[in-house]
Amino acid sequence: MSNEKQMNIGQMTVNRREWLQILGISAAGSMAAGLPFGASSAQAQKRGGTLKIASPHNPTSMDPIAGRHGSDHILLFPVFEALINIDLDTLMPKPGLAESWATPDATTLVLNLRRDVKFHDGTPFNAEAARFNLERARTDNKSRVKIDLIFVKSIDVTGDYQITLRLSEPDVVLLSVLSDRAGMMSSPKAVQEAGDRYDRLPVGTGPWRMDSWLDAEKITYSRFASYWNKNTAYVDKLDVSIITEVNTALRTVTSKQNDFVFQLAPQQIPIVERSGLTLAKGQTVATYHLYLNYAKAPLDNVKVRLAMCHGIDRNEFNQLTMGGYAEPTIQTLPKSHWAYNKELEGTYQYDPALARRLLAEAGYPNGVDIEMYIYNDQRSQQRGEVLVEQYKRSNIRIQLRAVPGNELGAKYMGEQLGNAAFSVYTGRTDPSQFFSIMFDPKSFINASRMWGVPELEKAMTECRTTFDQEERRKAIGRALKIIHENALYVPVILQVDIAAMQPKVKGYKPNILGKPRFEDVYLEG
């Protein structure tokens, strides 16, 4: 019998040797190859037409490295491709603009790049373009993804279509990082010519090019005629209407003004079913939680933060705001995830009396006042009001500050206004990315700009530099426990992804990241 350890990744089981080979970290230098998005199912789909989409999100930036919100990905995907793709069923890396990769040793990653790829402005994609983008991501003043490439010490062009990344430490998460914003490729020519205006004039290699962006109203995309992959991207145009109120957004689909709407509220499912629309829903790794600024009083006291964790009735919140469809949670991972920490189960029980006692022990016998930022759409304000009422029972007085979606990050995270924010963390392919984005002092998302506890830095490093999957699970568990015991954020529920579409819209499939992609969508009739 093989002595290889078995592990579950999403819905797939692999042994340790296969896992190392897929990640590209075997000592011999493994190779990876496969199909990009859409390449497996090109024959049945019909080409042409315009897909009209109602989006609840206006992007904070169309420059991949400069955005402030995870929902930006949805509107970046049509324009930009990353060096690495992710299989959205298994969360395993697969080829993107890098068609294969090898690791001669644990601190070297060689990427072999796809040939005959052009940016929308005609600039060729090659090793120099890839190096330019990665250097920009890790050094540019506007970059919010520097921490993703923290272990990359040099990027060398080792061939016309090959780059070599040399690391200061082994990094098991690097391929996942290169599938995200840090790995999205922009035209060097466009970046240099547009300067500070590039976030409004994006140029990638993706299947569609952005034609226009009327801020907070509409974004239009059209097919890129020279797109390298002819087996995907079936619709000619994407017309995206920015509609932050989900009831209004859904009405535009039932009335056939739009074809597709996503991130609906569970309470809207009966309306979708009665209207004859196609419903798609699935569990995600996106978490609704309270971001906490633990550099400011009163949240600089761990007992106050623990009181915040015990002051939420997650089951009631789920029923009132999600119709019971979501998964209440006390950690950022769903129970089905391979790194879920069972040791934390049964903690953070809803207990207003305990919360009040913790506040008294922290020196706040009369309770605390918390200024909390939320989005100003109707659904977000309803969630905020539920939290206000629940926290009253624990003598925690919440003052809501409702702001437009693209301002929340700027005010709470950028200017460090208020004590907390309630929003969704949109999820990433690996738990280590969550740790870095949320808690590294260099991360824009971390309004505290400090480590919550000194030992967290070491624990996070272990998560990224440990290759054995079982040892990684333990390392991630330790990091989750440190975060949990020190209440560095307040997890509430895991988001359920709900989309509705006209029956003519075919090929759409929800994914565990909760971020719609349209490469495989086509229009029937």
pLDDT over 50 at 4, yes or no: no
pLDDT over 70 at 27, yes or no: no
- Tell me what pLDDT residue 40 has: 44
* Least confident residue range of 6-10, 14-18, 81-85, 251-255: 6-10
Where helices occur in 255-363 by DSSP H, the ranges are: 269-274, 302-310, 314-322, 352-361
Calculate ∠ Cα 444-93-289, nearest 5°.
35
- Tell me what pLDDT residue 476 has: 96
Provide CATH 3.10.105.10 ranges for the chain.
284-496
Fold of 1-277+502-525: D-Maltodextrin-Binding Protein; domain 2 (3.40.190)
CA distance 413 to 294: 12
pLDDT over 70 at 10, yes or no: no
What's the average model confidence in pLDDT over 453-478? 93
What's the average model confidence in pLDDT over 73-88? 96
Threshold 0.75, pTM exceeds: yes
pLDDT digits (tens, 9 = 90+) for 365-413: 999 999 999 999 989 999 999 999 999 999 999 999 999 987 998 999 9
pLDDT digits (tens, 9 = 90+) for 272-298: 999 999 999 988 889 999 999 999 999
Helix and strand element counts for the chain (H, E): 15, 21
- Tell me what pLDDT residue 29 has: 36
Q: Where are the beta strands (DSSP E) in 44-87?
A: 50-55, 84-86
Among 121, 132, 19, CA closest to 83: 132
More confident residue, 44 or 355: 355
- Tell me what pLDDT residue 428 has: 84
- Tell me what pLDDT residue 2 has: 36
- Tell me what pLDDT residue 462 has: 94
Tell me what percent of the residues of the chain surpass a pLDDT of 90. 82
Highest mean predicted confidence (pLDDT) among 2-11, 27-36, 374-383: 374-383
pLDDT over 70 at 41, yes or no: no
pLDDT over 50 at 360, yes or no: yes
Among 437, 408, 396, 438, CA closest to 301: 396
Query: Given the DSSP bridges, would you call strands 218-223 and 237-242 parallel, antiparallel or unpaired?
Result: antiparallel
Tell me what percent of the residues of the chain surpass a pLDDT of 70. 92
pLDDT digits (tens, 9 = 90+) for 300-313: 999 999 999 999 99
- Tell me what pLDDT residue 261 has: 98
Among 477, 450, 452, 475, CA closest to 464: 475
What's the average model confidence in pLDDT over 87-103? 92
- Tell me what pLDDT residue 330 has: 97
Per-residue burial over 258-279, b if 16 or more Cβ lie within 10 Å, else e, is: bbbbbbbbbbbbebbeebebbe
CA distance 259 to 29: 46
Look up residue 9 and give its two tokens: 């990744």
pLDDT over 80 at 222, yes or no: yes
Among 199, 161, 162, CA closest to 181: 199
In the predicted model, what is the mean pLDDT of the chain? 91
- Tell me what pLDDT residue 525 has: 78
Q: How confident is the model at residue 516 (pLDDT cuts 50, 70, 90)?
A: very high
Provide CATH 3.40.190.10 ranges for the chain.
1-277+502-525
pLDDT over 60 at 458, yes or no: yes
- Tell me what pLDDT residue 395 has: 99
What's the average model confidence in pLDDT over 249-266? 97
Q: What is the DSSP letter of 478?
A: H
CA distance 244 to 253: 14
CA distance 199 to 257: 29
What's the average model confidence in pLDDT over 26-35? 38
CA-only gyration radius of the chain, Å: 23
Fold of 284-496: Dipeptide-binding Protein; domain 3 (3.10.105)
CA distance 461 to 438: 14
pLDDT over 60 at 16, yes or no: no
Look up residue 374 and give its two tokens: 């939320």
- Tell me what pLDDT residue 336 has: 85
- Tell me what pLDDT residue 299 has: 99
